[in-house]
Amino acid sequence: MPLIHTAAVAALRDADAAVEIAARCRGHVPAASRDALDAAAEQLRKAPLATPTLDLLAQVDGRRQVIASAALDRRLSTLLAMRESMARLQGLPSRPAITAAAPAEVCASCGFSRVLLSRIVGSHWVPDVLHADRPFEEFRAYMRSAEIPLAHMLLETEMVRRRRPTLVTDALGDEHTHKAIIQASDAHSYTASPIFAGRRAVGFLHCDRLGQDQPVTPEDRDNVWMFAQELALIIERGSVSEQLTAFAADTRRTLEGAVERIAAVGDAPVAIGEEPPDLTAAAGDDSQPTTRLVLALTPREREVLDLLAAGATNVSLARELVLSEATVKTHVTNILRKLRVRSRAEAVARYLQANATPLGTAA
């Protein structure tokens, strides 16, 4: 048998084995197998015309087409499975229920063996929900106490900063990965995406194919990135519709209270020595009600004011909102100006007085 034929037969045999493995775990036929088939086809096309050569060429072409079509089918069916997963998540009643179910949905629809959903708390990365095909006791034990600072040069910090997903092929060798979590989870190759609620990074999705005899691919990365964006929208939708209801309820409560107090003033009998009621509790001592002044703040300023009222310092504010201290100072200065007060304490006092009904945007 000519050398070209031997190579083609070998490439076919190798491709058949690869197709079988890929089918078993809904994975990809490795690039090396596909390249070998392409090379064989090219050589056979250059070879002198002969029936055995053309028979082999027909076989090799057929196999190449089957592999390419299967890859496209799998890609489409993964996208459609992701669609179903998102519809199921969207039907869940609460945000905690959505985050609890999300990793299992990512696993099932994208074909990963392991998916970890993490939260970003302040400037820390906190692993939260793990879904995997095995128990991973050791990793779960590590997760319970893990709180990883989002340090400079850490891969996860870069993802937040650049708003992009990432693909790691050698987790231990990569100098930007966090070694403790890599060792605890025994990860080799993984893909991760940040989850953004509006402009704010709120979490991560980390996914791998441990135990599947194959690394994660750029296609996996794109799928996880898409899932992370849709997941964020599903969570935001829930959050905003809660805010819509809360705003209407808050407005009603505040205005009804005001109506009662106003009516009571008119109904009171004439009495000697009537003292005007203490108005500071009702509306502040300014002609401009603080509630109204607070409405002049931007959403970000309200966020800062919420935290300020909870006793945050500039440093802790900067950490919580992932901002520089200078930016925090600018926000605080603007808040003081808009509320027409001189000090932070005064701002907080005013805010708390006005806040029988919180107007801050609960994130």
Please report, as ranges, the residues that interact with other proteins according to CB under 8 A. Answer: 41, 45, 49-51, 54, 57-58, 61, 64-65, 68-69, 72, 75-76, 79-80, 83, 86-87, 90, 222, 225-226, 229-230, 233-234, 236-237, 240-241, 243-244, 247-248, 251, 289, 291-292, 295
**Strand order through the sheet with 148-149:** 148-149, 124-132, 114-121, 200-208, 190-197, 166-168
Query: Least distance from C-beta 319 to other proteins, angstroms?
Result: 27
Strand 114-121 with 190-197, pairing: unpaired
> Which C-beta is closer to other proteins: that of 85 or that of 314?
85
Give min distance, CB of 123 to other proteins, in A: 24
The two tokens of residue 147 are 């709180």
68 vs 310, which CB is nearer to other proteins? 68
Which of 13, 163 has the CB closer to other proteins?
Answer: 163
Smallest distance from the beta carbon of 251 to other proteins, in angstroms?
Answer: 6
The first and second tokens of residue 57, run together, are 């060429």
Distance CA 219, CA 110 (A): 10
DSSP state of 274: P
Cα distance between residue 311 and residue 141, in whole Å: 33
Closest approach, Cβ 311 to other proteins, in A, equals: 27
Distance CA 298, CA 306 (A): 12
CA distance 188 to 158: 20
Cβ atoms of 312 and 348 closer than 8 Å: no
Report the alpha-carbon distance of residue 112 to residue 25 in Å, rounded: 9
Quick one: 2 or 122, whose CB is closer to other proteins? 2
337: left (phi over 0), alpha (psi -120 to 50) or beta: alpha
Chain center to CA of 342: 39
How many other C-beta atoms lie within 10 A of the C-beta of residue 268? 9
Q: Which is nearer to other proteins, 89 or 184 (CB)?
A: 89
Least separation in angstroms between CB 100 and other proteins:
20
Shortest distance (Å) from residue 327 CB to other proteins: 22
Nearer to other proteins, 122 or 289 (CB): 289
Judged by CB, which is closer to other proteins: 155, or 258? 258
Place of tokens 């074909």: 111
Least distance from other proteins to the Cβ atom of residue 302, Å: 11
